Structure formats: structure tokens, C-alpha cells
């Protein structure tokens, strides 16, 4: 068995540990942390042994370091003092996963194993959550056991929906009948979970992902687009007719003093207020709730502005990825976030799958696109890039960047005959240069 695993994978221990993280991610907290520590240690040991660190320093490394620096600066110069350094731990975990995956040099079999683990875990975790929801419970809404709050859980499910849809489409012809049936059943389970949870943002994300991927697959076949279109119509009809939770939320919001934003309106005002108080580096990581009413009122009154409970409201976070980063890490943190997300988006746009691209390219591209679209889309109304959803997203985006880094390395340059020749063309250049 050991010989077989070694033949399949270049780095057997670390890829199995990473697959283990993917398996327990939505369900168990302690095993996730243990496996994470073991994976990092084994990864470093493997690279020290073979001396392959994934290539030279490039723009991805610079962007990741800039992101880390923005988090550290926010902690070091936090506007308020509470949990700013503890807040760095979550960022350190998912950023480490992202950075190491971009330099992992994994092969197709390794990426496929990690993806299988992610899909199995979310389907099993969602079934568990549905069973738990039907039992007596004290928490609100449908929740994956380790992910927690319904908004975070449905963000996680929405990302995995896109990944599973992409996996089925990319490898449909090579899948067994059992795998096809299992994958299709998984899609249905995830759709049911989002419908029952009543998450409007997650429901919209599912429909957008399905239509976008269906349109993308028109390059290869019209079947997936037609299936996606039919599925979106059916899903929307089910929500309209049967989703009482979603309609209850909408009715409550429409009757509030802010029928568009509801309870988010005063929370978003609070985020903008905290940013105005500490504009450069913010109040500090996870310190959004630490600016008290008295402090906020005193700051506003000193500037001749009124304070009202209807205009400002505290919360554990800003219910918006962008406003939360702006409040907690200031302009420096927001610029670092946009730089990182912009680089991910640019990488995907430059490599939109073509008909001749292998299934792995389609799979990893769609997985990263799912993570990016859901994170940035739902991020408008919820704080998405943290905890389990951030770890899931960085696994998917790191897989894409790592794949591209290996198959299309950043060109090194050298001067030959007063001309700039890119390393990807060196063999051709040398064959024609006298």
C-alpha cells in the first residue's frame, strides 16, 4: 500500500494530511488544528529534504507578504486594545495554507484527492446539519457543525456547490455511474440545505454560479448550460413557493425603518464611524465590537455631529467583508485585500478554460472562481473571508495558483544579442541564434 501511495503522489504524507484537513474542515475543530500543524511541519521537512521550494520569489509571494504585513500593522497600531493579536491567528492559518499551496508543485492525482475530500466532507456535513436541524436544538438556522453560524455555513456550502458542479462537468465522461449518481445527489443535498436555511445571499450565489459555469461550458457542450438553466428555474420556483424562512426575513426587513438594508444599516454606519476614528490602520483585528457607545458618541459630538441609536449599532462584526476590513484594518488593510483579490481575479481572467485545456484546468479554475465569486459577492452583505470559509477559499485559490505556477511559471529573462528573450522561449531562441 505504501509503495502504491508513493507511486501516485510526489509527497504522500503531506497530501494525505491536507486531504485530512479537507475531510474534517466543516465538521470537527480540534482535528483540523492538529492536522494543520502536522501538514505544515511535514511540508517544510519535505522541502528541506529535496530542496524544491516551488521556484523563485514572484508577485504572489509579494502580495501575500503585503497582506500579512497589513494584518500585523493593524495589530501593532490598533486603535483599540483587546484581541488584535489573537485575531492574527486565523489569518496566519489560512494565509499559510495559501502560500504553501502556491509552492507545492502537486500533480493531478494530488489535487483530485484534495477535491474529493472537500466534496465528501461537505455532503456528509450537510446531511448531518439537516438531521440536527430536525432534532431539538438551541441554535438559529442550519449550521455545519464546525463552521457555525448559518451565514458562514451557507457561504461554505455555496462555494462547495460550485466546486462539485465543476468536478462533475469536468470529469463526467470518466466517472463511474456510482460517482455520477453520488455527485448529482450531493448537488441536490446542497440545494436543499440552502433553500431550508433561508439565506438570500447564498441562494443568489448558487444561481449565479450555475448560470456562469453553464455559459462557460458552452465552449464544450450545451448540455450543462441547459441543465443549469433548468435547475436555476426550478430552484427559484421552490424558493418562491416553499421557502417560508426566506420570505419571513424579507417581510421583516421590508417593515423595518430601513427596508433595503434592514439591521445592517446602523451596523454599516458603525463600521464607517470606526474607520473615520482610525482611518489608516483601523481599530485592530477582531476589535469591531470594542468601540463603545460612549466613545463613539463623544467622538461625534466633538465634531458637531449627532449620535443616535437608530443610526449606529454595535455588533461582533460589520456584516460586510469590505466594511469589516476597513473598520478593523483601515485603508492599509482594504488596499491589501483589493490587491490580493484583484490578483486572483486577473489570474482567472487570463486563463479562462478553452476546449483544448485538460479537465484539471477546468476543475481548478472553476474551484478558484467559486471561492472568489462567493467570497466577494456574499462579502457585500456578510463578513466572508475569515474562519472556515477563508480556509476553504485559500485551499481552492491556492490550488489554482499552484497549478498555474507549475504549468506556466513566471517568465525569467535574460539578454541575448541585445534582445529580451523570455525563459519559456529559450529553447526556440537558442536553436535559431547563431
pLDDT digits (tens, 9 = 90+) for 56-69: 898 999 999 999 99
Q: pLDDT-based confidence at 249, cuts 50/70/90?
A: low
Q: Which pLDDT band, with edges at 50, 70 and 90, does 8 fall under? A: low
* Backbone CA torsion sign across 259, 264, 267, 271: negative
- Chain-centroid distance, C-alpha 27: 17
Tell me the chain's radius of gyration from C-alpha atoms. Answer: 23
Cell numbers linked to 143: 449550521
For 291-311, letters b (16+ CB in 10 Å) and e give beeeebbebbeeeeeeeeeee
6 part of a folded domain: no
Give the confidence band of 426 by pLDDT, cuts at 50, 70, 90: very low
Cα angle: 234, vertex 379, 209; to 5 degrees: 30
234, with CB counted inside 10 A (0-12, 13-18, 19+), is: exposed
* 428 belongs to a structural domain: no
* Structural domain contains residue 248: yes
Among candidate residues 241, 146, 143, the one with its CA nearest the CA of residue 199: 143
- 299 inside domain: no
pLDDT higher than 90, residue 331:
yes
Task: Name the helix (H) or strand (E) containing 251.
Answer: helix 244-255
**pLDDT-derived band at 245, boundaries 50, 70, 90:** low
| Residue 378: predicted pLDDT | 94
Query: Domain total for the chain?
Result: 1
With respect to residue 158, please indicate whether it lies within any of the assigned structural domains: yes
* Among 127, 107, 153, residue whose Cα is nearest residue 360: 107
Question: 3-state DSSP: the chain helix, strand, coil percent, rounded to 5?
Answer: 70, 0, 25
336 in any annotated domain = yes
Residue 174 within a domain: yes
Number of H helices, E strands in the chain: 17, 2
Give a yes or no: residue 302 inside a domain.
Answer: no
Domain extent, residue 377, equals 55-258+314-407
pLDDT (0 to 100) of residue 251: 62
Amino acid at each position: 500500500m505504501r509503495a502504491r501511495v508513493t507511486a501516485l503522489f510526489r509527497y504522500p504524507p503531506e497530501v494525505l494530511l491536507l486531504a485530512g484537513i479537507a475531510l474534517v474542515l466543516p465538521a470537527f475543530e480540534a482535528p483540523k488544528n492538529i492536522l494543520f500543524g502536522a501538514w505544515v511541519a511535514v511540508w517544510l521537512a519535505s522541502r528541506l529534504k529535496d530542496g524544491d521550494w516551488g521556484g523563485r520569489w514572484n508577485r504572489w509571494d509579494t502580495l501575500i507578504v503585503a497582506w500579512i504585513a497589513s494584518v500585523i500593522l493593524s495589530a501593532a497600531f490598533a486603535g483599540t486594545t483587546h484581541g488584535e493579536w489573537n485575531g492574527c491567528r486565523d489569518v496566519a492559518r489560512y494565509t499559510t495554507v495559501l502560500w504553501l499551496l502556491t509552492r507545492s508543485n502537486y500533480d493531478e492525482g494530488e489535487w483530485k484527492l484534495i477535491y474529493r475530500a472537500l466534496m465528501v466532507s461537505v455532503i456528509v456535513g450537510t446531511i448531518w446539519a439537516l438531521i440536527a436541524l430536525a432534532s431539538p436544538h438551541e441554535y438559529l438556522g442550519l449550521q455545519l457543525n464546525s463552521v457555525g453560524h448559518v451565514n458562514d455555513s451557507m457561504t461554505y456550502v455555496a462555494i462547495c456547490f460550485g466546486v462539485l458542479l465543476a468536478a462533475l462537468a469536468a470529469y463526467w465522461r470518466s466517472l463511474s455511474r456510482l460517482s455520477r449518481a453520488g455527485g448529482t445527489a450531493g448537488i441536490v443535498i446542497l440545494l436543499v440545505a440552502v433553500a431550508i436555511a433561508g439565506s438570500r445571499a447564498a441562494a443568489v450565489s448558487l444561481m449565479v454560479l450555475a448560470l456562469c459555469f453553464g455559459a462557460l461550458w458552452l465552449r464544450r457542450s450545451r448540455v450543462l448550460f441547459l441543465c443549469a438553466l433548468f435547475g436555476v428555474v426550478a430552484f427559484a420556483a421552490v424558493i418562491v413557493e416553499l421557502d417560508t424562512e426566506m420570505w419571513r426575513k424579507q417581510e421583516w426587513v421590508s417593515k423595518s425603518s430601513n427596508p433595503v438594508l434592514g439591521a445592517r444599516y446602523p451596523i454599516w454606519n458603525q463600521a464607517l464611524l470606526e474607520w473615520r476614528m482610525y482611518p489608516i490602520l483601523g481599530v485592530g483585528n477582531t476589535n469591531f465590537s470594542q468601540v463603545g457607545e460612549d466613545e463613539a458618541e463623544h467622538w461625534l459630538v466633538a465634531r458637531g455631529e449627532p449620535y443616535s441609536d437608530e443610526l449606529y449599532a454595535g455588533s461582533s462584526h460589520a456584516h460586510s467583508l469590505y466594511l469589516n476590513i476597513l473598520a478593523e484594518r483601515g485603508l492599509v488593510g482594504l488596499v491589501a485585500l483589493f490587491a490580493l483579490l484583484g490578483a486572483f481575479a486577473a489570474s482567472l481572467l487570463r486563463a479562462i478554460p478553452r476546449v483544448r485545456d485538460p479537465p484539471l484546468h477546468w476543475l481548478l479554475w472553476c474551484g478558484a472562481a467559486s471561492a472568489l465569486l462567493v467570497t466577494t459577492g456574499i462579502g457585500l452583505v456578510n463578513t466572508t473571508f475569515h474562519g472556515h470559509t477563508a480556509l476553504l477559499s485559500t485551499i481552492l485559490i491556492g490550488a489554482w495558483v499552484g497549478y498555474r505556477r507549475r504549468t506556466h511559471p513566471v517568465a525569467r529573462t535574460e539578454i541575448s544579442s541585445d534582445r529580451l528573450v523570455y525563459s519559456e522561449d529559450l529553447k526556440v531562441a537558442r536553436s535559431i541564434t547563431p
